Every structure is written in structure tokens, then in C-alpha cells.
């Protein structure tokens, strides 16, 4: 039954400069969404299917393709804008929840962009990272709040405090969790190689650990989500650390969702679920209905793995993040990742992605404050994630209280992702968020791993320079260092929550 | 930036303040006439069992009664008086320095390993945080801090300001006799209008002078405040004094380890250490990462039994150590040491990360 709406106006318009086009057909091959087709020796275009993924533009040998946004204007209206109306039309037609991929597109100010970093001049000189050490080495895990000593028979001072296992990273930038299923094996392998090369770690996401990643298992943080996909003792033992996923920034309060189209044979084996079935992890873990249940899960994971690996937990940034984080910190957890509301996702209900949660800047600042207030800051490391876009964001997140950051979308972009936001369709023309064999083959792990490693390396150098400019030579000294930040055009209430002074103060 | 000076006599032989006044004046260039301060251990033998509280009153008539009441709640005031001062043409005094000789009642801090110091710490935090026109600038037994800053007002114009000698003369420092002296002159880099701003900073046992400016004030402050300390002056040296108190008194670290927590070796150096030492250094960085100080600094700190000098781990500020007989000197410049002790026997310039500790013979 057709709807009353007719068709919704195009989002993008694709056109070909016919003077330039040589009818080679590469655009047809490259566009997995089926925008182009051949009619005799002419290339026909169906712009309606275009996602602005830019694959065709990147591979047209003649630069003949043009892509524009908003070719058709809605009646201008400040409230009933295009997005709002299209959502209504689509839902009126289908009666369903609208899915969306990648991070939020809500038009809200980015707090990171209103925080300025500080630098030294003459009363305090900057540090020159080319000539003096600037230490980015970060240990993630529990730290003692104080130390106990004893004197040995020689009268030397000896430490009697036992240190908990920590993950050592040479840069505060880690690759966040993106599951096999949501992204391709080639994409995971590319990131795993980059993690190995740069001395950092990557998260497996909730999709299990494919044997293709075993060579990099000492660089993997394996995830245990509510669906328990792919979780068994072998999986837990392979990881360098284990992360319990309690929530995700793009969709706080709900579980994970992997559409059946992406559950290929290999994915089904790795996740331990039937091929072609939707993989839906529940909103809560069905063995955690109160905070008292979490330590039991965490300790049983530790017990199962001989208390040798740090166990992380990931929570979505919500209004009472501080309280949640303090509770999680008391649950034997070694590090907590806080995922901001702009975090990426393979698939989320649009209404969650754009309307639930709070910015990571605020969440990390208030979590750090609450942990300090309760004397728990050394009990856990904090990892900020969900919208870390550049090295300055890394430095700002750390100054707001994080120990390290996870990057997700930025790593995908380093592999070629154009942030088109259609990951949930499983047709990613860049071979990243897809399981279709021919598309997966488009991503060459040799090349992509180099690109990701380059990005981490470049950001790491920039972080070093920014720290040097601020006269700071160890990452511990940047952590929670609010003096190195100033708020520009932020209101007083927000400055108070962030505990940051305004510029000029 | 600043000039600092410390001298200690291992056998507790007393030195009057004229020598250190002379030494500090050698470093006027570093101070730019923006105030100075002195601290002396051993100056109140008649009240050696009392905590000597030096208090600055913005207006003694208004705020002294409140301080008296607070102190009486927590112990006994054995004696109190205005600290004698002598007007100097280049020094504009905006507050009245007062001293109390005070005995805290240890029964009021049950459960603490050092109840008297716990009470004193809380009194300092409480009084200094309250906007009551009173600031406790030193609070140890048999020790006192004498300091003054100046605004660049009419008197201070042209940089004449309160040169170290003016501050010394204001308190007539040469009238006091101590076995450990610290001194500091400063170029006021933050809020020069605050009279009480300059170093030294003190919390009962420990006094601190610092030549430098840390870039970690924000991190260190957040850290120390999570242990109940309250930083009321936005000054590095205040935080350093509290950090040392936390590490040494409350956490029981010996001073060597405490300094290693504040200015730790680089990871590269730690990686090369023998295993036991490596473990110790890693643990210190794990536990006290937020206490690490960055940026250029030299710190000289003292308590009744020792004097300690250390620099930031890159040694971006100078530290010169001199010895002569029983006397140990630590200063920003050799000339200052020579001004006080022309016959100094040995001069050393310790490397970054090398802590200098002189202990008083027991
Ligand atoms: S790829 Fe470019 S040149 Fe080739 S057919 Fe498509 S538009 Fe024409
Ligand atoms: S979906 Fe991508 S490949 Fe297809 S037309 Fe649009 S931009 Fe080009």
C-alpha cells in the first residue's frame, strides 16, 4: 500500500559532468547503494539512494561527479525543520523506530571548541619536546592511594603495597570498541596492527574475537556486553584486559543492535549466534539489576582469569554519571570508560542518538570531581570517549580529568570513512562497516593500518607539543589540571560544572 | 624570577638574621623589589612547647576576637602579642602581624596519629579559608615566618618597592636567632596586590621557599584539596607545604621518597633501574601522579630537624649548595652564599633529580 506522502525530497543530488565523463563505469562498481546504473553507453543516476559517502567521487578518474546537499528546500521554518518533518513522514509511513548510524547530528554547541588550552611564555617557560622528555606513557588500572613500606634485613626501604595489574600505553590514545559485525574483519585487523605498531590497545566491541585477530591479542581489550556474544573463557584469556559494557554514549539506556544483514557466516561463528539473525543485546545485563551485582560479575571475570588482567567498565554519559562512576569504581573495576552522547555507533534509534545523554566534557569533569570527593580517584582510571575529534580534544579531555581517551569515528575516518552515517545498512562502500565480501576486500589492511598508525602517531606528537607549550612534561601532571584550560563564551553554570575559569581570569 | 636561600647549622648553633639579610640582598635582581620573606627555626626557646601562630590581621580590632575564640575552642593560648615592626619608607604595611603561643588540646582529635598537628592543620585551613581578615602564615613550634609583599604603589614605583632589606628591617630580622633560616625574594607573578602573598609558606613543621612557578598548580591543588587541605592563596609554595605534610606526616613517607613523588625520575630512567628500585619508583608514580610537580622550580624546605633542596626533574632553575664547617647552604646563586660565608669550603651544583638533605645532629 503506498502512502499519502508521495516521495520525500532528495537529500543529496548527484550529477555527472557529461563533458568529462568517459563512461568507464567505475562509479557503478563503487557505489554499493546503487545510485548509478548503465543504460547503453549512458550512466543514469538515482540520487535518492545517495548517502554522500564520497566513494564515487574518490574513484572517478575524471573528477566528473558532483554532489550537492539540500537540492530541494522545505518551506523555511525554524522549528519544523527538514529533519523533524522527514522523521514524521518516515514514521507515519512505516510505524517503526528510525535507525541511524554514526554519532549524533543534533545541532548543539561542542564544549571542547569553547575550551582554550593554555601556554607558557616568560614567567614560566614552555618545555621543548624536541630537546626535553615529555612523557605520554600512561598506566591504566587501579593505583594505590598511599603506599606502605617495610625495612628489610639490610635496613633498606622496601615496598609492601602490592600493585594491581595495569595496562601500559605509550600514548593516551586508545582505539575504542567496534565489534566484528558492526565493522569488517579487515577494518579490525587494520586497527589491531596500528595498535601494535603504536604501543596502544584496541577494543573488540561485543562481537567476540575472530581468529584473524589472535596475532594481536596482547593488544586487545575484549568486551563483555549484555548479549555475551562470543564470550567464553578462551576469549577472556586472550585479551590483555576485559571490558564490561554497561552502556554506550550513542544509545544510553538501551542494548546493542546488529542488523541480521550484517551477521555473515563468519560473524555468526565469532559471535556464537545464528547466521542472518539480528543480534540484540539487552538493555541491562540480566545478572546485574543492582550495583551489588556488578562486583560479582567483575570478580568472577577476574577469578576466571587469575586476577592478572585489569577489568574495565564502560558507561554512557548521563546526568548522574558521577554517581554511576563512583558506584562502578567501588565494584572492583580498574578503569571506567565514559562514552559521551556524541559517540559513534553502527546502529541506534535516531531518537536516542540525538536526544539522550550528556556531553563527554561535562561527564568526565563531574566524574573526576566526584571520585576525588569520595577519595576514589586512584581506584580507577578514566577513559573519555564519544566525540574525540582531534589531538586538542585529547588534551582537553585529560585536563578535565581523564587518564586516556578512546577514539572510534576518528579511527574509521583514518581508514577512509566519510562519516556518511549509513553504517547500519551494511553497504559501506569503503569496506569498513560492512560484511559484504566484495566491499570488505576494498579495505587493504596493509594500507589502512598504516593510516591509523599515522593518525595516532600524529596526534601523539601534537599532544606532546601542546603539553610542552603548557610547560608540562608528564601526562599525570596534565590530568585534571584545570588551570591549563579556560572557557571561552561558556556560561557561568557550565564553567562551574567543568570547574574551569573563563578566559582572561 | 625569585631568589631563595637556606642555611642550616647541624649543631644548632644560632645565627642571627643579619647574615641572611645580607645574602638575600645579593639577589635583588631576582626579586625585582616585590617583597620578601624569612623563616627561622629556633627563635622562640621560651615557648618551645607551644605552637607559634603568626597571624596577619587586616584589621586586628575587627578580626582578632574571632580568632581568639576559635583558638580557645581547640586549646590554650599561653601568650599573644603584636609582632614588633619598624616602619620602612619603601614598605607599605596593610596588616598587623600578630603571634600566639598556643597549646592545642590533643584529646580533641581522637584517632589521629599526630593529634596536635591535626588540630593545627585544621585551624590553619579553617581560619585561612574564612573571609575574616585573618591569615595564619606560620604555625610551627619554635619557628616563625616573617614576610611582606608590596603593591607597585607610589612608594614602590620604579622597582624600589620592598627590597628584601626593607622587609628584614621592618621585622628587624637581625634581632632573631635561629639554627635554620630560609629566605625568599620574589618577582610577584600572581596577584602582586596581596600583601601576604610571598613565600615562605609554612604548616607547623614544614616551611617552604620556592624559586619558580609550577605548571601543575591546578592538578596539585585538586589533589591536595581532596585530602581536606584548603589552598587559600593560589600559590605553588602553599601547595608544596601541604603536599609535604600529606606525604611525610600523614602517609609516612621518608623525605627522600616524598621528594621522589614530587619530582619523580622519568620513565626511561625508571626502566633502567634495578628491579626493586624500579618497583618503588613505579609505585610512587602510581600513587602520587597527581602530586608530581612540573615546570621550572627549585624548592628549599625545612623542618626542625632538616633542610632539603630539590629541583624540577629538568633542572630549569638553579640550585647551588655550599658547605662550611657545620653549615649547609642552599641558594639560587653562589654569590648569595659567599655574601654570608666568604670562606665557604665547597660549592656544588647538584644535577636534576638529586636531592640535597642536611640533617641537624640529634
Ligand atoms: S566514474 Fe566518472 S568517468 Fe567513470 S563513468 Fe562514472 S562519472 Fe563517468
Ligand atoms: S552513495 Fe556514495 S558512492 Fe553512491 S553516489 Fe552517493 S557518494 Fe557516490
The answer to whether residue B222 neighbours chain A at the CB level (below 8 Å) is: yes
Cell of B47: 615557648
The answer to whether the CB atoms of B254 and A157 lie below 8 A apart is: yes
Confidence of residue B157 (pLDDT cuts 50, 70, 90): very low
Does residue B187 have a pLDDT over 70? no
Confidence of residue B155 (pLDDT cuts 50, 70, 90): very low
The answer to whether residue B213 neighbours chain A at the CB level (below 8 Å) is: yes
Distance in angstroms (rounded) separating the CA atoms of residues A208 and A270: 6
- Which of A120, A147, A473 has its CB closest to that of B283? A147
- Is the beta carbon of A429 within 6 A of some atom in ligand 2? yes
Distance in angstroms (rounded) separating the CA atoms of residues B185 and B199: 8
CA B109 to chain A, closest CA, distance in angstroms equals: 21
Q: A56 alpha carbon to ligand 2 midpoint, in Å?
A: 5
Confidence of residue B194 (pLDDT cuts 50, 70, 90): low
| Placement of cell 514514521 in the chain | A91
Distance in angstroms (rounded) separating the CA atoms of residues B148 and A267: 73
pLDDT one-digit tens code per residue, B209-245: 999 889 999 999 999 999 999 998 888 899 999 999 9
The answer to whether residue B150 neighbours chain A at the CB level (below 8 Å) is: no
- Is the beta carbon of A178 within 6 A of some atom in ligand 1? no
Gyration radius from chain B CA atoms: 19
Q: How many residues in total does chain A contain? A: 505
State which ligand 1 atom lies nearest to the alpha carbon of A25: 5
* DSSP label of A443: S
pLDDT one-digit tens code per residue, A51-88: 999 999 999 999 999 999 876 777 788 889 888 898 99
CA B193 to chain A, closest CA, distance in angstroms equals: 16
CB contact set of A420 (below 8 Å; sequence gap of 6+): A51, A52, A53, A54, A102
The answer to whether residue B120 neighbours chain A at the CB level (below 8 Å) is: no
Distance in angstroms (rounded) separating the CA atoms of residues A477 and A133: 14
Distance in angstroms (rounded) separating the CA atoms of residues B34 and A140: 44
CA B203 to chain A, closest CA, distance in angstroms equals: 21
| Placement of cell 624546605 in the chain | B301
The answer to whether the CB atoms of B289 and A143 lie below 8 A apart is: yes
State which ligand 2 atom lies nearest to the alpha carbon of A52: 7
Distance in angstroms (rounded) separating the CA atoms of residues B80 and B71: 12
Q: A58 alpha carbon to ligand 2 midpoint, in Å?
A: 10
The answer to whether residue B290 neighbours chain A at the CB level (below 8 Å) is: yes
- Per-residue pLDDT at B158: 37
Helix axis angle for B275-288 and B255-262, nearest 10°, is 60
For residue B166, give the 3-state DSSP assignment: helix
The answer to whether the CB atoms of B218 and A482 lie below 8 A apart is: yes
Catalytic, B95? Answer no
CA B220 to chain A, closest CA, distance in angstroms equals: 8
State chain A's maximal CA–CA distance in angstroms. Answer: 92
- Phi and psi torsions of A96, nearest 5°: -120, 170
Q: Residue B85, class by beta-carbon neighbours within 10 Å (0-12 exposed, 13-18 middle, 19+ buried)?
A: middle
- Is the beta carbon of A439 within 6 A of some atom in ligand 2? no
Q: Tell me: ipTM over 0.90.
A: no
Half-sphere exposure of A94 (CA within 13 A, CB side): 10
For residue A282, give the 3-state DSSP assignment: coil
Cell of B285: 608514580
* Choice among A17-31, B28-42, B271-285 with the minimum mean pLDDT: B28-42
Alpha carbon distance, N-terminus to C-terminus of chain B: 36
The answer to whether the CB atoms of A470 and B215 lie below 8 A apart is: yes
Closest CA to A236 of A307, A316, A164, A143: A307
The answer to whether the CB atoms of A146 and B287 lie below 8 A apart is: yes
Nearest CA in chain B to A142: B286
Does residue B59 have a pLDDT over 90? no
Q: How far is CA A456 from CA A141, A186, A195, in A?
A: 22, 18, 9
Contact B147, B201 (CB under 8 A): no
- Per-residue pLDDT at B32: 64
pLDDT one-digit tens code per residue, A92-119: 999 999 988 899 988 899 999 999 999 9
CA B125 to chain A, closest CA, distance in angstroms equals: 17
Distance in angstroms (rounded) separating the CA atoms of residues A234 and B206: 55
Average pLDDT, chain B: 89
- Per-residue pLDDT at B263: 95
Distance in angstroms (rounded) separating the CA atoms of residues B192 and A284: 56
Q: How far is CA B256 from CA A447, B284, B310, B319, in A?
A: 50, 12, 10, 17
Of A61, A64, A429, the one to substitute when testing ligand 1's pocket (max ligand atoms within 8 A of C-beta) is A64
State which ligand 2 atom lies nearest to the alpha carbon of A34: 4
Q: Quick one: which H or E segment has residue A294?
A: helix A293-304
- Which of B218, B251, B266 has its CB closest to that of A133? B266
The answer to whether the CB atoms of B284 and A473 lie below 8 A apart is: no
- Is the beta carbon of A16 within 6 A of some atom in ligand 1? yes
Mutate to test the interface with A, among B2, B215, B249, B288 (most CBs of A within 10 A): B215
Does residue B150 have a pLDDT over 70? no
- Looking at chain B from residue 342 to 361, which residues have their Cβ under 8 Å from any Cβ of chain A? none
Alpha carbon distance, N-terminus to C-terminus of chain A: 64
Does residue B91 have a pLDDT over 80? no
For residue A43, give the 3-state DSSP assignment: strand
The answer to whether the CB atoms of A144 and B283 lie below 8 A apart is: yes
- Is the beta carbon of A422 within 6 A of some atom in ligand 2? no
The answer to whether the CB atoms of B218 and A481 lie below 8 A apart is: yes
Gyration radius from chain A CA atoms: 24
Tell how strand A241-245 and strand B134-138 pair up. Answer: unpaired
Does residue B160 have a pLDDT over 80? no
CA A448 to the chain's CA centroid: 17
- Give the count of Cβ contacts less than 8 A between chain A and B: 117
CB contact set of B201 (below 8 Å; sequence gap of 6+): B137, B145, B207, B208, B233, B235, B237, B238, B240, B241
Mean pLDDT of B60-75: 92
Q: A436 alpha carbon to ligand 2 midpoint, in Å?
A: 17
CA A214 to the chain's CA centroid: 22
- Is the beta carbon of A194 within 6 A of some atom in ligand 1? no
Confidence of residue B154 (pLDDT cuts 50, 70, 90): very low
Mean pLDDT of B292-303: 94
Does residue B191 have a pLDDT over 80? no
Q: Quick one: which H or E segment has residue A188?
A: helix A185-198
Segments of chain A scoring below 50 in pLDDT: none
CB contact set of A273 (below 8 Å; sequence gap of 6+): A229, A263, A279
pTM of the model: 0.93
Q: A214 alpha carbon to ligand 2 midpoint, in Å?
A: 35
Cell of A445: 589492511
Amino acid at each position: 500500500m503506498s502512502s499519502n506522502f508521495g516521495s520525500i525530497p532528495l537529500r543529496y543530488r548527484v550529477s555527472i559532468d557529461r563533458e568529462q565523463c568517459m563512461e568507464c563505469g567505475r562509479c557503478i562498481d563503487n557505489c554499493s547503494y546503487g545510485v548509478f546504473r548503465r543504460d547503453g553507453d549512458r550512466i543514469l543516476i538515482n540520487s535518492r539512494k545517495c548517502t554522500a559517502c564520497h566513494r564515487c567521487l574518490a574513484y572517478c578518474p575524471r573528477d566528473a561527479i558532483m554532489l550537492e546537499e539540500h537540492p530541494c528546500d522545505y518551506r523555511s521554518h525554524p522549528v519544523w525543520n527538514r529533519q523533524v518533518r522527514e522523521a514524521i513522514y518516515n514514521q507515519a509511513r512505516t510505524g517503526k523506530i528510525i535507525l541511524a548510524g554514526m554519532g549524533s547530528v543534533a545541532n548543539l554547541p561542542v564544549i571542547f571548541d569553547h575550551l582554550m588550552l593554555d601556554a607558557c611564555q616568560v614567567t614560566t617557560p614552555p618545555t621543548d619536546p624536541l630537546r626535553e622528555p615529555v612523557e605520554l606513557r600512561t598506566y591504566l588500572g587501579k593505583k594505590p592511594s598511599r603506599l606502605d613500606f617495610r625495612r628489610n634485613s639490610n635496613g633498606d626501604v622496601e615496598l609492601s603495597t602490592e600493585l594491581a595489574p595495569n595496562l601500559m600505553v605509550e600514548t593516551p590514545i586508545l582505539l575504542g570498541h567496534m565489534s566484528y559485525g558492526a565493522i569488517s574483519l579487515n577494518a579490525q585487523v587494520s586497527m589491531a596492527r596500528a595498535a601494535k605498531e603504536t604501543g596502544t590497545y584496541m577494543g573488540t566491541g561485543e562481537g567476540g574475537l575472530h581468529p584473524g585477530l589472535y596475532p594481536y591479542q596482547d593488544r586487545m581489550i575484549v568486551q563483555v556486553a549484555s548479549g555475551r556474544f562470543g564470550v567464553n573463557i578462551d576469549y577472556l584469556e586472550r585479551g590483555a584486559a576485559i571490558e564490561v559494557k554497561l552502556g554506550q554514549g550513542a544509545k544510553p539506556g538501551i542494548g546493542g543492535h546488529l542488523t541480521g544483514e550484517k551477521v555473515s557466516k563468519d560473524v555468526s561463528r565469532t559471535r556464537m549466534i545464528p547466521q542472518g539473525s539480528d543480534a540484540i543485546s539487552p538493555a541491562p545485563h540480566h545478572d546485574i539489576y543492582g550495583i551489588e551485582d556488578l562486583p560479582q560479575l567483575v570478580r568472577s571475570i577476574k577469578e576466571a582469569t587469575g586476577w592478572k588482567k585489569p577489568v574495565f567498565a564502560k558507561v554512557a554519559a548521563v546526568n548522574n554519571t558521577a554517581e554511576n562512576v563512583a558506584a562502578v569504581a567501588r565494584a572492583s573495576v580498574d578503569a571506567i570508560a565514559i562514552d559521551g552522547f556524541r559517540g559513534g555507533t553502527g546502529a541506534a534509534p535516531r531518537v536516542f542518538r540525538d536526544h539522550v545523554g550528556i556531553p563527554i566534557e561535562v561527564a568526565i569533569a563531574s566524574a573526576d570531581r566526584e571520585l576525588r570527593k569520595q577519595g576514589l580517584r586512584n581506584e580507577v582510571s578514566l577513559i573519555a570517549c564519544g566525540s574525540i575529534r582531534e589531538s586538542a580534544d585529547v588534551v582537553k579531555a585529560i585536563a578535565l580529568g581523564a587518564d586516556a581517551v578512546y577514539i572510534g569515528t576518528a579511527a574509521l575516518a583514518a581508514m577512509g570513512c566519510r562519516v556518511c552515517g549509513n553504517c547500519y545498512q551494511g553497504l559501506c562502500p569503503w569496506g569498513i562497516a560492512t560484511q559484504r565480501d566484495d566491499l570488505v576486500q576494498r579495505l587493504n589492511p596493509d594500507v589502512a593500518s598504516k593510516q591509523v598508525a599515522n593518525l595516532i602517531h600524529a596526534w601523539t606528537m601534537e599532544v606532546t607539543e601542546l603539553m610542552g607549550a603548557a610547560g608540562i612534561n608528564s601526562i599525570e601532571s596534565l590530568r585534571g589540571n584545570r588551570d591549563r584550560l579556560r572557557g571561552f563564551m561558556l556560561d557561568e553554570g557550565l564553567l562551574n560544572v567543568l570547574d574551569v575559569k573563563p578566559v582572561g581570569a | 624570577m625569585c631568589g631563595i636561600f637556606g642555611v642550616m647549622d647541624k649543631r644548632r648553633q644560632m645565627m642571627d638574621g643579619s647574615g641572611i639579610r645580607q645574602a638575600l640582598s645579593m639577589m635583588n635582581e631576582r626579586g625585582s623589589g616585590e617583597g620578601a620573606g624569612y623563616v627561622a627555626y629556633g627563635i622562640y626557646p621560651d615557648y618551645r612547647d607551644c605552637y607559634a601562630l603568626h597571624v596577619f590581621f587586616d584589621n586586628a580590632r575587627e578580626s582578632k576576637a574571632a580568632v581568639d575564640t576559635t583558638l580557645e575552642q581547640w586549646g590554650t593560648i599561653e601568650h599573644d602579642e603584636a609582632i614588633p615592626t619598624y616602619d620602612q619608607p619603601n614598605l607599605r604595611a596593610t596588616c598587623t602581624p600578630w603571634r600566639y603561643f598556643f597549646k592545642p588540646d590533643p584529646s580533641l582529635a581522637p584517632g589521629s596519629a599526630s593529634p596536635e598537628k591535626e588540630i593545627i592543620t585544621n585551624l590553619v585551613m579553617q581560619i585561612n579559608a574564612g573571609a575574616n581578615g585573618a591569615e595564619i602564615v606560620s604555625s610551627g613550634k619554635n619557628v616563625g615566618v616573617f614576610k611582606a609583599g608590596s603593591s607597585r604603589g607610589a612608594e614602590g614605583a620604579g622597582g624600589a618597592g620592598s627590597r628584601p632589606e626593607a622587609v628584614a628591617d621592618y621585622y628587624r630580622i637581625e634581632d632573631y636567632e635561629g639554627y635554620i633560616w630560609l629566605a625568599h625574594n620574589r618577582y610577584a607573578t600572581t596577584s602582586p596586590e596581596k600583601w601576604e602573598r610571598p613565600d615562605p609558606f609554612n604548616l607547623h613543621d614544614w616551611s617552604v621557599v620556592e624559586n619558580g612557578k609550577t605548571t601543575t598548580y591546578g592538578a596539585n591543588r585538586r589533589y591536595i584539596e581532596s585530602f581536606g587541605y584548603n589552598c587559600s592563596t593560589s600559590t605553588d609554595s602553599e601547595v608544596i607545604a601541604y603536599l609535604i605534610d600529606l606525604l611525610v606526616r600523614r602517609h609516612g613517607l621518608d623525605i627522600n621518597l616524598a621528594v621522589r613523588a614530587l619530582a619523580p625520575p622519568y620513565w626511561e630512567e625508571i626502566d633502567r633501574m634495578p628491579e626493586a628500585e624500579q618497583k618503588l619508583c613505579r609505585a610512587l608514580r602510581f600513587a602520587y601522579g597527581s602530586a608530581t610537580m612540573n615546570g621550572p622550580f627549585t624548592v628549599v624546605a625545612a623542618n626542625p630537624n632538616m633542610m632539603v633542596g630539590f629541583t624540577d626533574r629538568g633542572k630549569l632553575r638553579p640550585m647551588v649548595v655550599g658547605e662550611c664547617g657545620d653549615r649547609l647552604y642552599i641558594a639560587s646563586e653562589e654569590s648569595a652564599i659567599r655574601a654570608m660565608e666568604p670562606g665557604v669550603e665547597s660549592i656544588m651544583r647538584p644535577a636534576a633529580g638529586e636531592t640535597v638533605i642536611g640533617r641537624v645532629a640529634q
